[in-house]
Each structure stands twice: as structure tokens, then as C-alpha cells.
Structure 1
Amino acid sequence: MAEQYTKNMIREVFIMMLNDRPLSKITVKDIAKECKINRNTFYYHYTDIYELLSELFQRELQIVIDEYNDTLSWEESFLVAAKFTLENRKAIYHVYNSMHREELENYIYNTSGNIMIRYIEKASDGISASSGDKKLIASFYQCALTEMVLRWIATGMKEDPDTIIRRIGKLFNGNIALSLKRSADLEDIWEKDHRRFFSY
């Protein structure tokens, strides 16, 4: 219980500092001082700040997975999943501009993928689309969303993501269902290739 409390405190202080300064300007000493713990206590829980960063994004991804609501549209699900990013824009921007951008990119990619895979699985109910095509459709939207979010971060996060995502939803409304129906109508000649493509 005490250990979890300490980890939560370390994580909260870390997020607070990330919202205030670049990742490279945050030290274990700073975190320990703010948490009123010694550095050995920090190192008991984390090897270094970058392990803490990695765990932070893994935890946020798990929250997205646990709180996924299959009654929502993919747009609504994505906006719910983006809550941490929207509440901590400066922190996200600081990570994006650090040597450890890959942690952020993986978080966005995995979050987008989780939402699209689960949404498409629900949308394909009653449609005999091939599993390979479902993965391909999910991957397409996953990559598009990831690149859009990264571009949004790179340009200073000025646009309202709610407006953008909902606009995309309206522009491409029905495309996922149409793609799934087309898959059901096609011969399953691509199944072998899909398995190879998604086996990485």
C-alpha cells in the first residue's frame, strides 16, 4: 500500500514537472526533493527517469484499454482516450521534443490501434469480412490517426482536436462499414498475404 502511494506520488510529481519544463531538465534529485523522499527510494521503484516515462505511457494505455466503451463511435472513443494528452499538453510537447520521443509515438500508435481494432471488431458483427482485411482496415486508420496526432503536437497543438476528429468522422462516415462489406464480397485470396504482413 505504501509502495503504491509512493509510486503514485512520484508519477504525479513527474507529470507536474513535465508540464513545467523539458524532460532533459528533470532530474531524480528534483523529483525526490519535491516528493520529500531520498533518491534511493526513487531508485527502489525506477531504474531512471526514462523507465518512469515508459511506465507512465504504459499505464495510460492500460486505462484506455480498461475504460473502452463499445457503445461509442471510434471518434468518441479516440477523444476519450486522448484525455491525458489534452490535460497535459505541455508535458506531451516536452516529451515530443526530447530524445525519448519514441515512447510517445508508441503510446499514440498503440492507443489508436487498440481503439480501431476493437471498434472494427464491433462494426464487423454480422459482416463476414476476413480477419486479414479487418486488421488491414484497423492498421490504415491507426497509422492515419497516429500521424495526425504527431503532426498536431509538432505544430503546437493549436487546433481543437474535438473539432478535427469529429469533422473526420463526418467526412469518412460509413467508410469502415463499406470496407468491411467489400471484404465480405471479395474472394479470400489475400488472407495468406495478410497473415504475413501482420506477423511482424
Structure 2
Amino acid sequence: MAQQYTRKVIREVFVQMLNERPLSKITVKDIVNECEINRNTFYYYYPDLYAILAEIFQTELQTVIEEYNDTLSWEESFLAATKFALENKIAIYHVYNSIQKEELEKYLFNVAGNVMTRYVEDASKDLKASGEDKRLIVSFYQSALTEMLLHWISSGMKEDPPKVIHRIGLLFDGNIALSLERSAKLNDSW
């Protein structure tokens, strides 16, 4: 129990610091001083700062997986899945502008993929869409959503994500279902 608490405190302090300054300006010394632990305790849990970041993203992805609600639209699910990023915009911006950018990209790609996979699977329950077509649809939306998020981050995160995602939902409403229906018809004609 104490181990989980210590890990949690280290992660929280790290995120707090990322919301205040770039990743390159955070040191292990800063974290151990703020957490009031010694360096050996830090290194018992993490080999370096990047391991904390990887664990944070993995934990957040696990939360997305556990909290997915198939009664939500893909837009609502995606916004719920990106809650951590929206609540920690400055930290995300700092990670984006660091040598750990790939970790952020992987996290966003995995979140988008998880949301879209579950949504497409749910939307295709009563259709005979092929597995390959479902993977293509997921991949298309996963890539598009990830790239949109990365562009939003790189441009300073000025737009309101719920507003943009809602607008995308309105513009593309029904396209996933239509694609799945087309897949089922294409399968019947082969």
C-alpha cells in the first residue's frame, strides 16, 4: 500500500511540475525534494523521469479502457478518453516539445485506437462487415484523430476540444455506420 502511495505521489508531483515548466527543466532532485523522499527511494520505483512519463500514459490508457462506456458516441468517448490531456494542457504541451514527444504520440494513438475499435465493434454488431474493413475504418479514424490532436497541441491548444470534436461528429455523422453497411454489402457481392 505504501509503495502505491509513493508511486502516486511521485507521478502527481511530476505532472504538477510539468504543468509549471518544460520537461528539460525538471530533475530527479526537484522531485525528491518536493516529495520529501531520498534519491534511492525514487530510483527504487523509476530508473529515470521518462519512466514516470511512460507509466502516467500507460495508467491513463488503462483508465480509458476500464471506463469505456458503449452507450456513448465516439465523440463523447474520445473526449472522456482525452480527459487527462485536457486537464493538463501545459504538461502535454511541454511533453510535446521535448525529446519524449514519441511517448505522447504513442499514447494519443493508443487512446484513439482504443476508442475507435470499441465503437466500430459495437456499431457493427448486427452487420456482416469484414474484419479487415473494420480494421481499416478504425485505422483511418485513429490516424485522423491522433493527427488532429497533435496539430491542436502544436498550435498552442487554442481551440476548445469539445466544440471541435462535437463539430466533427456533426460533419461526419453516420459515416462509420455507412462504411460498415457498405462493407457488409461488398462481402455479400463477392
Query: Shorter-chain-normalised TM-score: which range?
Result: over 0.9
1:161 is matched with 161
Question: Unaligned regions of 5+ residues in structure 1, if any?
Answer: 191-200
Question: Unaligned regions of 5+ residues in structure 2, if any?
Answer: none
How many residue pairs align between the two structures? 190
State whether structure 2 residue 136 is matched by structure 1 residue 136: yes
Query: How far off its partner does 1:162 sit?
Result: 0.5
CA distance in 2 between counterparts of 1:12 and 1:187 reads 50
TM-score when normalising by structure 1? 0.93
1:1-200 matches, within 5 Å, as 1-187=1-187
Distance 1:188 1:34, change over 3 A: farther
Q: Does the aligned pair in 2 maintain the 1:93–1:153 contact within 8 Å?
A: yes
CA RMSD of aligned residues (A): 1.2
What amino acid maps onto 2:146 in structure 1?
T
Query: CA-to-partner distance for each residue in 1:43-101, whole Å, 9 max, x for gaps?
Result: 00001001111111000000000000000000000011111011100000000000110
CA distance in 1 between counterparts of 2:82 and 2:60 reads 10
Distance 1:98 1:188, change over 3 A: farther
Q: Does the aligned pair in 2 maintain the 1:130–1:188 contact within 8 Å?
A: no
Query: How far off its partner does 1:125 sit?
Result: 1.2
CA distance in 2 between counterparts of 1:127 and 1:91 reads 42
Distance 1:106 1:188, change over 3 A: farther
Query: How far off its partner does 1:187 sit?
Result: 3.5
Percent identity for Structure 1 against Structure 2: 68
What amino acid maps onto 2:88 in structure 1?
N
